Structure 1
């Protein structure tokens, strides 16, 4: 498996809280949940530290073990938690967290796992590809966005509304009736979306953080099929460029209300050729 990918931080010079990594037969994508100013955390580690530490741990586990993906994710969360549970108050709701996509080719099939609002697309050659995204966060968040979406981005009022919004969502994180992401509790892995599909049914696959999936889900610039065409013809960097173009055209969130003007953006693309996945 060879993977083409692009990843860019929200702002030049700012740490990229996304993680993308691949081996010959596995790909892992994480989107770290940014913590806005004013939201306190009892953990001394950054979101980037968390997403990159967990991402590299998962990639190693997927290389060394053929175990079920939820089991590997639970082990990975437990391992990363052990690295800072004696130095940080991990019971605090502000502990770093991340969405997770895991994709693994094993013999004649592909196993996948999605936890949180990153998006996995499987192109099976049909007019509409298979799109997998855990939408529990959106279901919870939507009723709480009214005030935030009514304010002009870049203003103190918008920043304060975003802080309140993030703190409210924190009360729903990793509990029944809420939404689930990777953080400190290995049991979150039991709530991931999972599946298996014959490898020969998949022509291509794409892994997207919400910063790139927004080209379809928020900005409506293209369909999922058209997004796959962009990745196939021009590569992931072109998709990221289109995201930035849309963001810059609406700097205050007046056309497309959103909590952040710019977001970290990551896309990975795999194409199926002669029984294996290869880059375009």
Structure 2
């Protein structure tokens, strides 16, 4: 087995709110839900702290227990809540949150979990790889961002529309009919999508934050097979370089509307044979 990974912040002026970590038998990737400067969250620690703390807690859990992945996520969210529930207002709608993507290799299976819009790709040797993602965030968001998508990135109008969009989305977070993310409610872990693939079928697997997967699912510049081939040939850093080139080619979102011109980008490639 061989595992390679890379992560790159959207801007050198802001902390990277992605997290990726590995053990001998598991990979964990989180994408913290960043917000524009000035928006309240109720938490003094911030999104980057939340992603790092939940990610490292989850890694510790997966090395110590063979429990189902969703159960490990439940425990981890509870642990992180206990670290700041007396100092922060965790009832605030902007309480830090993160997507979660996990893989765990056992003797017989590759187990997976996704919560919100990070992506797992599993290559079993077929023409197209298996792509695993939780699209509830996208299905909710597309209903509310028509105004945002019509505005030019970097303008005051776009910034104000983004704030309104985020406020609306906060009202749908971790609610029926909306979408589910890791935050202050451990019950959200039970809403994760989970499954497994027989270990002998898997050639490789990749985990991507949406800042890395946007080459395919937002920009449409590669198929999932082409993205996986790029990862295999050039590594995670090569994929991120391609994403950055596409972002710089369309800095104002004129051709590829997006609420973030640049996003934290993280990718991990786990090769088994």
Q: Into which bin does the TM-score normalised by the smaller protein fall?
A: over 0.9
Deviations 1:26-51 (A, max 9, x none): 00000000011342121111100000
Question: What RMSD, in angstroms, separates the aligned Cα atoms of the two structures?
Answer: 0.8
**2:266 match:** 266
Instruction: State the distance in 1 between where 2:187 and 2:222 align.
Output: 36
Instruction: State the distance in 2 between where 1:68 and 1:240 align.
Output: 31
Residues 116 and 134 of structure 2 are in contact (CA less than 8 Å); yes or no, is this contact kept in structure 1? yes
Instruction: State the distance in 2 between where 1:161 and 1:39 align.
Output: 13
TM-score scaled by structure 1? 0.96
Instruction: State the distance in 2 between where 1:151 and 1:233 align.
Output: 36
Instruction: State the distance in 1 between where 2:251 and 2:228 align.
Output: 26
Instruction: State the distance in 1 between where 2:39 and 2:236 align.
Output: 33
Instruction: State the distance in 2 between where 1:232 and 1:272 align.
Output: 12
Shift of residue 138 of structure 1? Answer: 0.6
Shift of residue 13 of structure 1? Answer: 4.0
**2:9 match:** 9
**Aligned counterparts, 1:202-213, within 5 A:** 202-213=202-213
SS in structure 2 opposite 1:10?
coil
Residues 212 and 265 of structure 1 are in contact (CA less than 8 Å); yes or no, is this contact kept in structure 2? yes
Shift of residue 141 of structure 1? Answer: 0.5
Deviations 1:157-195 (A, max 9, x none): 000000000110000000111100000000001100000
SS in structure 2 opposite 1:144?
coil
**Aligned counterparts, 1:5-44, within 5 A:** 5-44=5-44
Instruction: State the distance in 1 between where 2:269 and 2:30 align.
Output: 15
Shift of residue 196 of structure 1? Answer: 1.1
Deviations 1:55-83 (A, max 9, x none): 00000100010001000000000000000
Instruction: State the distance in 2 between where 1:42 and 1:55 align.
Output: 21
Instruction: State the distance in 1 between where 2:221 and 2:41 align.
Output: 36
SS in structure 1 opposite 2:272?
strand
Instruction: State the distance in 1 between where 2:271 and 2:265 align.
Output: 20
Instruction: Count how many residue pairs are aligned between Structure 1 and Structure 2.
Output: 273
Shift of residue 106 of structure 1? Answer: 1.3
Shift of residue 12 of structure 1? Answer: 2.0
Instruction: State the distance in 2 between where 1:141 and 1:58 align.
Output: 27
Instruction: State the distance in 2 between where 1:186 and 1:42 align.
Output: 18
SS in structure 1 opposite 2:243?
helix
TM-score scaled by structure 2? 0.98
- Segments of structure 2 that go 5 or more residues without pairing to the other structure are none
Deviations 1:216-250 (A, max 9, x none): 01111110001111111110101000000010111
- Segments of structure 1 that go 5 or more residues without pairing to the other structure are 274-280
Q: Which stretch of structure 1 is more off in the superposition, 20-29 or 6-15?
A: 6-15
**1:145 match:** 145
**2:185 match:** 185
Shift of residue 97 of structure 1? Answer: 0.2
